[in-house]
Amino acid sequence: MSERPLTRNIRPGSLPPDLAAYRAGGGYEGARRALQLSPKEVVELVTQSGLRGRGGAGFGTGQKWSFVPRPVAGRRTTLVANADEMEPGTFKDRLLIEGDPHQLIEGMLISAYAIGAAEAVIFIRGEYRLGIERLHRAIGEAEAAGLLGKDILGSGYDLAMHLHASAGRYICGEETALLTALEGRRATPRSKPPFPQIAGLWGAPSVVNNVETLCNIPHILSRGPDWFRALGIGADSGTKIYGASGRVKRPGLWELPIGTPLDELLEEHAGGMQDGYEAVAVLPGGASTAFLGAHQFAIPMDYPSVEKAGSRLGTGALIVLDQTSCPVGMLRNLEHFFAQESCGWCTPCRDGLPWVERILEAIEDGEGEDGDIEQLERHVGLLGPGRTYCAHAPGAMAPLASGLKLFRAEFEKHLRDRRCGFRA
Amino acid sequence: MSTAETHLPVAAASPLTEVLRARIEALAGHQAHPRGACIEALQLVQAEHGWISDEHLREVAVLLRMSPADLDGVATFFNLLFRRPVGRNVILLCDSVSCWLMGRERLQAALRARLGIEPGQTTPDQAFTLLPTVCLGHCDHAPAMMIGERLYGDVDETRLDQALAESRAERVS
For residues A184-198, give the mean pLDDT.
Answer: 96
Q: Which of A290, A283, A297 has the alpha carbon at shortest distance from A244?
A: A283
pLDDT digits (tens, 9 = 90+) for A66-117: 999 977 777 789 999 999 999 999 999 999 999 999 999 999 999 999 999 9
Q: What is the pLDDT of residue B148?
A: 95
Half-sphere exposure of residue A268, counting CA atoms within 13 Å on the CB side? 11
Residues A279, A350: one domain? no
Q: What is the pLDDT of residue A171?
A: 98
Residue A191 pLDDT > 60: yes
Residue B173 pLDDT > 50: no
Residues B125, B161: one domain? yes
- Looking at residue B16, which CATH number applies to its domain? 1.10.10.1590
* A334 Cβ under 8 Å from any chain B Cβ: yes
Residues A223, A85: one domain? yes
Q: Note whether residue A1 is domain-resident.
A: no
For residues A208-216, give the mean pLDDT.
Answer: 98
Residues B22, B72: one domain? yes
Q: What is the pLDDT of residue A57?
A: 87
What proportion of chain A, given as a percentage, has pLDDT over 90? 96
Is the previous residue joined to A385 through a cis bond, with omega within 30 degrees of 0?
A: no
Q: How far is A65 from chain B (nearest CA, A)?
A: 23
Residues A222, A110: one domain? yes
Q: Note whether residue A35 is domain-resident.
A: yes
Single-letter amino acid, residue A336: H
* A54 Cβ under 8 Å from any chain B Cβ: no
Residues A194, A265: one domain? no
Q: Note whether residue A14 is domain-resident.
A: no
Q: Note whether residue A175 is domain-resident.
A: yes
Q: What is the pLDDT of residue B32?
A: 87
Which of B44, B70, B85 is at the close of a domain? B85
User: How distant, in Å, are the alpha carbons of A295, A380, A401, A416, B42 from that of A409?
Assistant: 17, 18, 14, 10, 50
The answer to whether the Cβ–Cβ distance between B96 and A167 falls below 8 Å is no
Mutate to test the interface with A, among B39, B52, B65, B102 (most CBs of A within 10 A): B39
Residues B80, B93: one domain? no
Mutate to test the interface with A, among B33, B42, B97 (most CBs of A within 10 A): B97
Calpha distance B126→B87 (Å, rounded)? 4
A86, A136 Cβ separation under 8 angstroms: no
Which of B31, B50, B85 is at the close of a domain? B85
Degrees (nearest 5) of the Cα angle B86, B89, B91? 95
Which of B62, B85, B108 is at the close of a domain? B85
Residues B53, B120: one domain? no
Residue B4 pLDDT > 50: no
Confidence band for A364, pLDDT divided at 50, 70 and 90: very high
Task: Provide the residue range defining the domain that includes B131.
Answer: 89-169
Q: Which class for A409: exposed (0-12), middle (13-18), buried (19 or more C-beta within 10 A)?
A: exposed
Confidence band for B1, pLDDT divided at 50, 70 and 90: very low
- Looking at residue A211, which CATH number applies to its domain? 3.40.50.11540
Residues A335, A410: one domain? yes
Q: What is the pLDDT of residue B14?
A: 86
* B100 Cβ under 8 Å from any chain A Cβ: yes
Residues B101, B150: one domain? yes
* A165 Cβ under 8 Å from any chain B Cβ: yes
Q: What is the pLDDT of residue A1?
A: 57
- Looking at residue B120, which CATH number applies to its domain? 3.40.30.10
Residues A310, A204: one domain? no
Residues B146, B70: one domain? no
* A246 Cβ under 8 Å from any chain B Cβ: yes
Residues B35, B108: one domain? no
Which of A293, A322, A351 is at the close of a domain? A322
Residue B3 pLDDT > 80: no
Residue B10 pLDDT > 80: no
- Chain B residues lying within 8 Å of A170, measured CB to CB: 134
Residues B28, B49: one domain? yes
Calpha distance A268→A266 (Å, rounded)? 6
- Looking at residue A253, which CATH number applies to its domain? 3.10.20.600
- Chain B residues lying within 8 Å of A167, measured CB to CB: 39, 42-43, 78-81
Residues B73, B104: one domain? no
* B72 Cβ under 8 Å from any chain A Cβ: no
Which of A231, A256, A286 is at the close of a domain? A231
Q: Which residues are bridge partners to A116 per DSSP? A: none
Residues A153, A29: one domain? yes
Find all residues with CB under 8 Å of A203, minimum gap 6, and list them: none
Give DSSP secondary structure letters for A142-183. HHHTTSSBSSGGGSS--BEEEEEE----GGGGSHHHHHHHHT
Identify the closest residue of chain B to A126 by CA–CA distance: B80
3-state class (DSSP) for residue A401: helix
Residues A262, A200: one domain? no
pLDDT digits (tens, 9 = 90+) for B71-129: 999 999 999 999 999 999 999 999 999 999 999 999 999 999 999 999 999 999 999 99
pLDDT digits (tens, 9 = 90+) for B19-38: 999 999 999 999 989 999 99
Degrees (nearest 5) of the Cα angle A59, B136, B113? 155
Residues B103, B144: one domain? yes
What proportion of chain A, given as a percentage, has pLDDT over 70? 100
Residues B1, B73: one domain? yes
- Looking at residue A408, which CATH number applies to its domain? 1.20.1440.230
For residues A123-135, give the mean pLDDT.
Answer: 98
Residues A317, A333: one domain? no
Give DSSP secondary structure letters for A176-240. HHHHHHHTTS------SSSPTTTS-GGGS-EEEEEHHHHHHHHHHHHH-HHHHHHHSSSSS-SEE
Contacts by A195-201, CB closer than 8 A, 24 or more apart: A195/A67, A197/A64, A197/A65, A197/A67, A197/A68, A197/A69, A198/A67, A198/A69, A200/A78, A200/A176, A201/A78, A201/A80, A201/A121
Task: Provide the residue range defining the domain that includes A280.
Answer: 239-322
A211, A82 Cβ separation under 8 angstroms: yes
Q: Note whether residue A424 is domain-resident.
A: no
* A332 Cβ under 8 Å from any chain B Cβ: no
Confidence band for B8, pLDDT divided at 50, 70 and 90: low
Q: Which class for A423: exposed (0-12), middle (13-18), buried (19 or more C-beta within 10 A)?
A: exposed
pLDDT digits (tens, 9 = 90+) for B35-55: 999 999 999 999 999 999 999
Q: Which of B66, B77, B135 sits opposite A187 (nearest CB)?
A: B77
Residues A206, A107: one domain? yes
For residues B1-21, give the mean pLDDT.
Answer: 69
User: How distant, in Å, are the alpha carbons of B110, B111, B163 from that of B159?
Assistant: 11, 12, 6
User: How distant, in Å, are the alpha carbons of A63, A168, A175, A248, B41 from that of A207?
Assistant: 11, 21, 9, 37, 25
Q: Note whether residue A10 is domain-resident.
A: no
pLDDT digits (tens, 9 = 90+) for A34-73: 999 999 999 999 999 999 999 988 999 999 999 999 777 7
Residues B114, B147: one domain? yes
Q: What is the pLDDT of residue A13?
A: 86
Which of A303, A322, A341 is at the close of a domain? A322
Residue A189 pLDDT > 70: yes
Q: Note whether residue A374 is domain-resident.
A: yes
Q: Note whether residue A423 is domain-resident.
A: no
Q: What is the pLDDT of residue B2?
A: 43
Number of structural domains, chain A?
A: 3
For residues A287-316, give the mean pLDDT.
Answer: 97
Q: Which residues are bridge partners to A161 per DSSP? A: A120
Q: What is the pLDDT of residue B11?
A: 61
The answer to whether the Cβ–Cβ distance between A184 and B102 falls below 8 Å is no
Residues A316, A364: one domain? no
Number of Cβ atoms within 10 Å of the Cβ of A378? 12
Number of structural domains, chain B?
A: 2
Find all residues with CB under 8 Å of B112, minimum gap 6, and list them: B118
Confidence band for A6, pLDDT divided at 50, 70 and 90: very high
Considering chain A, what is the average pLDDT of its residues? 97
Residues A188, A251: one domain? no
* B43 Cβ under 8 Å from any chain A Cβ: yes
Q: What is the pLDDT of residue B12?
A: 61
